[in-house]
């Protein structure tokens, strides 16, 4: 396996990220060494929360939350998924599968021997982390999720599957802005549990624009995409930043924001972006090779009686309604203060203090005396 490693100088002088790096080397199936980075902040004897990020960001997403959590006496572990942040980046498309990410992060979890964890995951951090919990349930004392899920869609009609595959493989070229327009039309991906299948299948087709765009775009503008969901951005400035990136002048563009720079930092060239390109098509929005593993995980959570909390934005088109299946199926959700707090897809940034307070209270109120 060819593995790339982002040079340390790419992370120099990043504001608001004073955290010492911690590295764990795991083995891939072919025997390659894969180095995974994580943050470890807060009191060593405090309750531990494992915070996992999604796509196309990295552990910097939790930089605003960490001081609040640490002040509450909580130890924060925040890894970078393989392919992101300071973690190593396998270079080939076939290296990135849902199962590989689960296996790699489970190996990281066991090798560090983290126990008595509270989990919080969003986006891909939830998809991967929830499967990790199902495979390592004795290591987790409580679970919280936001703007994420555990997609299991065995009944998507063949006509929908055929339409999506044909669209993905079509020569049609998408732009960043045409993709974003379609994704904004979504109203939750697979969150209805079959109660409104037409709306669900419409979202599957709209989500395919994200899947197609990321794969056909060799230099996915991760910084622009992430920053546009965390701060108000002028569309013209975004277009000009995109243009300067296309002609090789991204690093000197006067149109970049600080957040755009930060979320582009792990990727010194397009070669480093294979995870950003490949992972969207691994979301099991339709039946695929992950179907049985997803069912097994749902079987686990349908018997899960430990505390389980849903905190979401409630205004994220990709995951609106994500909490419905969990509240209906997971025993541990009973009598927990589930809530929606606004803030969009990456609400760890926009609602850092509020989300941290809710998670700290969840840990405190569900800890053994």
Length of the chain: 369
CB contact set of 219 (below 8 Å; sequence gap of 6+): 245, 246, 270, 273
Distance, in Å, from the CA atom of 347 to the CA atom of 314, rounded to the nearest integer, reads: 10
Distance, CA of 229 to CA of 252 (rounded, Å) = 22
Placement of tokens 């973690």 in the chain? 87
**Are 191 and 321 in contact, with CB atoms under 8 Å apart?**
yes
DSSP state of 142: E
Q: Catalytic residue at 219?
A: no
Contacts with 5 (C-beta within 8 Å, 6 or more apart), sequence order: 35, 88, 89
- Cα distance between residue 45 and residue 126, in whole Å: 26
Active-site residue identified among 95, 123, 135, 141 = 123
What does the alpha-carbon distance between residue 132 and residue 296 come to, in Å, rounded to a whole number? 12
Active-site residue flag, 37: no
Characterize the bridge pairing of strands 308-312 and 48-52.
unpaired
Residue of 144, 355, 189 lying closest to 286 (CA atoms): 189
Tell me if residue 138 is catalytic.
no
By three-state DSSP, how is residue 353 classified?
helix
d(CA 251, CA 269): 11
Catalytic residue among 80, 88, 95, 316: 316
| Cα-trace Rg, the chain | 19
Helical H runs in 265-333? 274-278, 291-301, 323-329
Residues marked as catalytic: 123, 316, 345
């Amino acid at each position: 396996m060819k593995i790339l490693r982002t040079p340390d100088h790419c992370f120099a002088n990043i504001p608001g990220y004073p955290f010492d790096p911690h590295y764990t080397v795991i083995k891939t199936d072919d025997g390659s060494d894969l180095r995974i980075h994580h943050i470890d902040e807060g009191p060593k004897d405090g309750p531990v929360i494992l915070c996992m990020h999604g796509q196309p960001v990295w552990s910097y997403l939790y930089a605003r939350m960490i001081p609040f959590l640490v002040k509450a006496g909580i130890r924060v572990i925040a890894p970078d998924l393989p392919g992101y942040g300071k973690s190593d980046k396998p270079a080939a498309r076939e290296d990135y599968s849902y199962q590989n990410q689960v296996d790699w992060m489970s190996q990281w979890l066991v090798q560090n021997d983290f126990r008595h964890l509270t989990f919080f995951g969003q986006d891909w951090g939830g998809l991967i982390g929830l499967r990790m919990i199902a495979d390592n349930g004795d290591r987790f004392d409580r679970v919280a999720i936001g703007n994420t899920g555990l997609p299991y869609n065995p009944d998507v009609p063949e006509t929908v599957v055929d339409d999506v595959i044909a669209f993905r493989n079509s020569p049609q070229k998408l732009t960043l802005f045409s993709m974003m327009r379609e994704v904004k039309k979504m109203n939750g991906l697979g969150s209805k549990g079959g109660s409104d299948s037409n709306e669900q299948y419409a979202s599957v087709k709209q989500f395919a624009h994200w899947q197609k765009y990321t794969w056909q775009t060799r230099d996915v503008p991760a910084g622009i995409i992430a920053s546009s969901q965390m701060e108000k951005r002028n569309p013209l400035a975004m277009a000009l930043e995109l243009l300067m990136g296309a002609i090789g002048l991204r690093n000197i563009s006067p149109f970049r924001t600080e957040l755009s720079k930060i979320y582009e930092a792990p990727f010194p060239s397009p070669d480093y972006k294979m995870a950003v390109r490949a992972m969207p098509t691994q979301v099991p929005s339709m039946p695929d090779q992950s179907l049985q593993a997803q069912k097994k995980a749902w079987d686990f959570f349908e018997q899960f009686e430990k505390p389980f909390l849903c905190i979401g934005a409630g205004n994220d088109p990709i995951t609106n309604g994500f909490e419905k299946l969990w509240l209906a199926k997971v025993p541990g959700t009973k009598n927990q203060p589930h809530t929606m707090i606004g803030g969009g897809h990456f609400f760890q940034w926009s609602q850092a203090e509020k989300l941290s307070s809710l998670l700290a209270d969840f840990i405190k109120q569900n800890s053994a005396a």
